[in-house]
Amino acid sequence: MMKKLLVVILVLALCGTLFAGGGAQRGGASGVQMIEGANVPRNQTLILENPGGRCNPPDYFNRWSGWNNTYQSGFQQIALDALWYIDPDAGVDGVWENALAAENPIYNSDFTQLTVKLRSGIYWSDGVEFTADDLIYTIEAQMKTPGMAYTGPFNAYVNRVEKVNNYEVKIYMKEPNSRFHTNFLIRWGACFIMPKHIFEKQADITTFKFNPPISLGPYTLKDYDPQGNWYLWEKRSDWQRTSLARLGSLEQAPKYAMYIAAGTSDVKVMSQQQHQLDVIHDMAPEGVITLKRTNPTSKTWFPNFPWGHPDPTQVACVINDERPGLNNKDVRWALALSLDITRLAISSYRGAMTISALAVPPTGMYPEYYHTPLEQYLKDYTLDLGDGTRFKPYNTEAAINIANEARKSLGDMVPTSSADIKKYVGAGWWKYDTAAATKLMQKGGMRKNARGVWEFSDGKPFKISVIGQTDNEPSQNRLAAMVVECWKEFGIDASLNVSSDFSPYTRPGDFDVYLQWNIETWGGHPDLSYFLPYFHSNQYVPIGEPQYGRNAGRWKSPQTDRIIDQMTQINMDDIDKSVELGQQWLKVALDDMFEIPICSYNVFTVMDEWYWTGYPDINNPYTDPVPNWANSRYMYLKLKPTGK
């Protein structure tokens, strides 16, 4: 059966459809179209893109040890579960959900104890009840096992864990931490709960594949391609015994969900035009324009420009701050000023980019709490160029310039009012000023050789290899290429290394620059705790040792430590104090330019309403439609068959 369906997927890659070339059959007198090999009805199956592409190895489902694209193949979306969820948009019943937890996190007065009360009546797909034993095991097993996803943060803060009863756990901290619960708060992903009765039997949980996986969510794994191209999930007959059921019925939800490696943007366009790819994760903007023009049932977050969902995720040039040359902030600032943001935006997003000079994405509530209040600070900020002059690097007209350039090819699609441009494209960014950048390079100990290429003052070569995304993330792929082009024009010996998996480079610190996202925010809350604790020095590991958090650049900052320490001792819902500390940190990050913020990750997710309707959009923003988000599980509550 796997071989037959593999042929179907290969046809998809070549022809843009799951059903071309004999890949479909009619199911008897009913005339129902079947997915050959999988033998499931097309009109009962939701087909979504796995943005990771082909999963390798395809049979690895251990979400708590290492990284693998199987996590995005439906596993974390509809099979795993966690204590709490926070939605980047409006949410089904508000942005916060008590999922496996029955209540919000309960701290004592000094934030040294956390009480977690759990729901009863939740069951793993093998019939074993979820209890406090699973939560305790999830914490303790990772604490005593080096190399697990949460070994670092759990060992940094947890003193001991106590079982009060089957549905209540107390966690005792080594020091106050009012944000410890966020380790279990899903926004895309977090620490999912491990099945104790499965993992405790394994000799080595770091290499255990967890195959076949059991689920705590409403779907179980039915089948998968041995080459890692697709994963087929089936709705549990007892879906009522999952946490998602408390928010609504899954009776009309798709019986099957198939997550696939969907190919290039052109292939995705053809697949959706033929109604064989329901949810496209991301694609080139040209593909979105084509689908909106040719396929009446294709739907995007915004009905028009800029189309894509503005994820609370910051795309940046993440710099290895321990590499020679790159460990100098003047050099890092020079790299920022040698980037032309207009060319970056046009080449990658056709102008549908939302830029940010600050190290948080300009989406959701963040402009209100950070970008707008700090706009004057950015205007007034100056750099010492090393020759006795001060330079103001902030360009207030950056978004206007991008919109004007985009309008040359997109015409009336691009807004003209300054308010709309600020809403969709952002505000300002750094000036493209190679003269100022040259002075900063010289201040940082660099010189140009006879060929016009930057080198160290002792004549040693200065090179930068930029790791960029593959065509599966087309906008990011193009963005990385333009970054390299700008730097080469400036005289940097820069090169592009395209990869679908950054971890072999980022974990040991074996890279110069990678273009991706390591800063992500809650979206539904202005506190910066979703990402900031990973930049505390207690999470630092030197180059050569594996780094499993967000600080692959090995940045260390005493001011950041101080801000994080203060943050852990105030309530997360003390919004005023949280934002005050957040603004302080953004100034520290700006001054050090430890990485170069560029834009929010505007994801060109396109949903086809031929077989299913009820997808979220700006007018019904109950969740993020981007299909690799764990929060996208909420879509299964709202989707209904069209009857085709």
Confidence at 52, pLDDT banded by 50, 70, 90: confident
Percent of the chain with pLDDT over 90: 87
User: Minimal CA–CA distance to 186: which of 623, 624, 522?
Assistant: 522
The pLDDT of residue 216 is: 98
User: Minimal CA–CA distance to 65: which of 200, 217, 225, 194?
Assistant: 194
User: Does residue 554 belong to any structural domain of this protein?
Assistant: no
> Longest Cα pair distance anywhere in the chain, in angstroms?
84
pLDDT at 4 over 60: no
Structure tokens given for 202? 């394994």
Instruction: Give the N- to C-terminal CA distance of the chain in Å, as an integer.
Output: 26
Q: Count the domains in the chain.
A: 3
Asked whether 486 and 515 are in contact (CB, 8 A), the reply is no
Q: How far is CA 197 from CA 129, 130, 497, in A?
A: 10, 10, 42
Whether residue 381 sits in one domain with residue 499: yes
Confidence at 371, pLDDT banded by 50, 70, 90: very high
C-alpha 91/C-alpha 97 separation (Å) is: 8
DSSP-assigned beta bridge partners for residue 433: none
Which distant-in-sequence residues (6+ apart) come within 8 Å of 108 by Cβ? none
Whether residue 184 sits in one domain with residue 223: no
Which distant-in-sequence residues (6+ apart) come within 8 Å of 256 by Cβ? 38, 40, 44, 45, 46, 222, 232, 233, 234, 235
The pLDDT of residue 28 is: 42
What radius of gyration do the chain's Cα atoms show? 25
Whether residue 461 sits in one domain with residue 392: yes
Average pLDDT (167-191) is 95
User: Does residue 14 belong to any structural domain of this protein?
Assistant: yes
* Domain extent at residue 145: 84-199
Whether residue 261 sits in one domain with residue 159: no
Whether residue 147 sits in one domain with residue 24: no
**CATH no. for residue 191?**
3.90.76.10
User: Does residue 566 belong to any structural domain of this protein?
Assistant: no
Asked whether the bond before 212 is cis by omega within 30 degrees of 0, the reply is yes
- Buried b / exposed e over 505-543, threshold 16 CB at 10 Å, is bbbbbebbbbbbbbbbbbbbbbbbbbbbbbbbeebbbee
Whether residue 343 sits in one domain with residue 291: no
C-alpha 217/C-alpha 81 separation (Å) is: 6
pLDDT at 238 over 70: yes
Whether residue 70 sits in one domain with residue 124: no
- Lowest mean pLDDT of 64-68, 73-77, 615-619, 634-638, name the range: 64-68
Question: pTM of this prediction?
Answer: 0.87
Whether residue 403 sits in one domain with residue 321: yes
Whether residue 512 sits in one domain with residue 419: yes
Whether residue 114 sits in one domain with residue 258: no
pLDDT at 152 over 90: no
Whether residue 302 sits in one domain with residue 314: no
The pLDDT of residue 30 is: 55
User: Does residue 539 belong to any structural domain of this protein?
Assistant: no
Locate the DSSP E strands across 109-255: 113-117, 158-165, 168-173, 185-186, 219-224, 230-235
Q: What is the mean pLDDT of the chain?
A: 93
Which one of 151, 176, 199 terminates a domain? Answer: 199
Structure tokens given for 428? 């300002």
C-alpha 534/C-alpha 519 separation (Å) is: 10
537-561 confidence digits (pLDDT tens): 988 999 999 887 899 999 999 999 9
Whether residue 338 sits in one domain with residue 429: yes
Average pLDDT (339-352) is 97
**CATH no. for residue 224?**
3.40.190.10
565-589 confidence digits (pLDDT tens): 999 999 999 999 999 999 999 999 9
Which one of 164, 180, 199 terminates a domain? Answer: 199
Structure tokens given for 570? 């105030």
**CATH no. for residue 367?**
3.10.105.10
C-alpha angle with apex 329: 372 to 501, nearest 5 degrees? 85
DSSP-assigned beta bridge partners for residue 463: 493
